[in-house]
Structure 1
Amino acid sequence: MEYSGDTFFDRWSFFDQFDNLTHGDAQFVSMPDAKKGGLISINDAKNAIIRVDNTSTLGFGDKRNSVRITSKDRFKVGSVWIADFLHVPYGCSTWPAFWSVAPDWPSGGEIDTFEGVNNVKNNRMTLHTEPGCSQINATQTSKFVNSTDCNYLLNGNQGCITSDPNESSYGEAFAKAGGGLYITEFAEDGISIWFFNRSSIPASLAVQNITQFDTKDLGVPVANWPNTGCDINTFFKPQNLLFDITLCGDLAGLSSVFAETCPGDCYVDYVTGSSPSTYDTAYFEIRSVKIYGSGPIVASNVIRANKGHSSKLRLKMRLSWRNVFLAGVTLIVWVVLF
């Protein structure tokens, strides 16, 4: 199955309320309003664009228009999805994500394939589940592990986080590298995520219109949550895919997180600031999202608006993004010394 080209948006539902899930300063809009406001489009290269409003000057108390979409299809254990992006949103106050979730979160779990805030340089990947799922004996290239317990009830629902050490996995460097592929394997023996910049895409994936491939040919994933600590069939159910770009909120707007890469006040200086062009880089450019393996389940009721979904309904993040990497560095030093 594939989402791409002129029909990219045909099988997605638009969440058309303000961001009441992460207390963000974004007003998510309907499909007609998103088209009218230039927040979604298909460009001349037939790539899908999803962006934040970068033209309106707002008054204090207003929220900036943005987009959150949910696939009408759900994908079962045994699926692999490949997201091919040329550009991802970045900049002060932005909090974009490409993720998946079951309809009755936290039951059924959540997989965050791509997530960043403000001007950080690294993508982070996270699972959120009910109690009982942990990352144990992972086989992955990243050493930057913040938390191994995926329980949404712990640490303000930060989940079990692995960050990509590749500084071109997010933001400006990602765009300069020509984008790349984020690959998520949703399998009985574990959940794995790979990232490849444009220049490092494996030959098995570089062929146009491939109908099948073996994830064993991709090498060791950057992040891995094996079933040794988390029974996938118990903690995860068929997943809807989502894109969203919110602003400030529980994570990007948290003062300790915001100050790491941005000056000033998240809301006053950016969301309602005098220069809406600050959001010129706050957009996804998507070549395609392709799903292999188990066939889709057509969703009769996509994610219910009153449900809070993981990273999208965080309380306070108690660890900063820098802590993610310090945790990894500490682990490396411990190994060297002992």
Structure 2
Amino acid sequence: MRAFALLSVLATELPLLPPVTATTYDLVKEYAGSTFFNDWTFYNNYDNLTNGDAIFVSAQVAASSKLAYVDPTTNHAIIKVDNTSTVPYNDKRNTVRITSNDAYGVGSVWIADMQHLPYGIDTLEGVNLMTNNQMGLHTLPGCTIVNPSQASTSQQQSSDCSYLTNSNQGCIVVDGNTDSYGQAFAAAGGGVFVTEFATSGISIWFFPRASVPSALTSNTNSVNTSALGTPTGNWPSTNCLIDTYFSPQNLIFDITLCGDFAAAPSIFPKTCSGVCYTDYVIGNGSNYATAYFEVASRKHNQRDKWNV
């Protein structure tokens, strides 16, 4: 089973060199409350992107089936896998993939306040019963990561970002904080992810709910990245020119099942038993009771690109 949200440049979901030029970004767009789903496109097709055993439903089906809706009590957006239908053999299970209608270029910061992430079954990427979030970039050949300035607890898994290397693994960083994904994330009340997309590099910070800094809570209309400390993951532009390898980015929320990553023979048995499709996708949907996103807000902040 796989659940993944790409927090912009992957999804979903950095350093001391100059980490990323610290600067102030002002709020220009917020996805929240009753209008959360207004500016997203639902994929409305089977998963032909990662070969998952999933059907990404339309906005109409998602709403009528309560797979994408705003909870009237909390005012939070819920994005989930169908956990009530009985799926017969050779069929796929309904789920949701949404992409922001707007694309955001260099000179952007995305802030995602999340209460719950799918687990038990990828800014932000994870599969099956993983306990740590992993972050990564996926590019054309030639982009490599050199001397990132990031948290000492983060682990650089790969430095070649090319989609042609290691079956498109990307240049991956694993967050050492076990509150960054899965059951522990939910139990801790979620947290906040911040992604900075600048000419000097790409940086991602994660803050568990109890550690969200005042720089994010005291001023809801702007954020100064110099007040956020050392990033959790960092991809400096030294050997990967941002304007060359990255076009404006769309935001994506995606929950798929099995597929190229989660069902791989080298990955699935690490945290799950049985066979991904036959033991988890078909039959009743009880396996997916925790397979949902709960999003309090998703903000886009921006500054004049010529000053990045």
Question: In structure 2, the residue corresponding to 1:116 is in which secondary structure?
Answer: strand
Question: In structure 2, the residue corresponding to 1:70 is in which secondary structure?
Answer: strand
Q: How much does 1:279 deviate?
A: 0.3
- How many residue pairs get matched? 275
Question: In structure 1, the residue corresponding to 2:100 is in which secondary structure?
Answer: strand
Q: Following superposition of structure 1 onto structure 2, how do residues 50-129 of structure 1 map, counting pairs within 5 Å?
A: 50-92=79-121, 97=122, 113-129=123-139
Q: Which amino acid aligns with 1:65?
A: N
> Which residue number in structure 2 is paired with residue 47 of structure 1?
76
Unmatched tracts of structure 1, length 5 or more: 98-112, 297-338
CA deviations over 1:224-243 (Å, ceiling 9, x no partner): 00111211111111111100
Counterpart contact for 1:87–1:175, Cα < 8 Å: yes
Q: Which amino acid aligns with 1:76?
A: G
Among 19, 24, 32, the residue aligned to 2:60: 32
Q: Following superposition of structure 1 onto structure 2, how do residues 137-176 of structure 1 map, counting pairs within 5 Å?
A: 137-141=147-151, 142-176=153-187
CA deviations over 1:32-68 (Å, ceiling 9, x no partner): 0001111011111110000000001111111000000
> Which residue number in structure 1 is paired with residue 255 of structure 2?
245
CA distance in 2, matches of 1:80, 1:119: 29
CA distance in 2, matches of 1:259, 1:151: 26
Question: In structure 1, the residue corresponding to 2:60 is in which secondary structure?
Answer: helix
Counterpart contact for 1:76–1:295, Cα < 8 Å: no
CA distance in 1, matches of 2:260, 2:103: 27
Matched, 1:11 2:22: no
Counterpart contact for 1:179–1:198, Cα < 8 Å: yes
What is the TM-score with the length of structure 1 in the denominator?
A: 0.80
> Which residue number in structure 2 is paired with residue 261 of structure 1?
271
What is the TM-score with the length of structure 2 in the denominator?
A: 0.87
Compared with structure 1, are the counterparts of its residues 233 and 294 closer, same or farther at alpha carbon in structure 2 (3 Å cutoff)?
Answer: same
What is the identity percentage for the equivalent residue pairs of Structure 1 and Structure 2? 55
Counterpart contact for 1:77–1:294, Cα < 8 Å: no
Q: Which amino acid aligns with 1:35?
A: A
Question: Which is bigger in relative contact order (C-alpha 8 A, separation at least 6)?
Answer: 2
CA distance in 2, matches of 1:28, 1:138: 36
Matched, 1:236 2:246: yes
Matched, 1:286 2:295: yes
CA distance in 1, matches of 2:79, 2:227: 31
CA deviations over 1:238-262 (Å, ceiling 9, x no partner): 1111000000000111122111111
Q: How much does 1:294 deviate?
A: 4.2
Matched, 1:197 2:208: yes
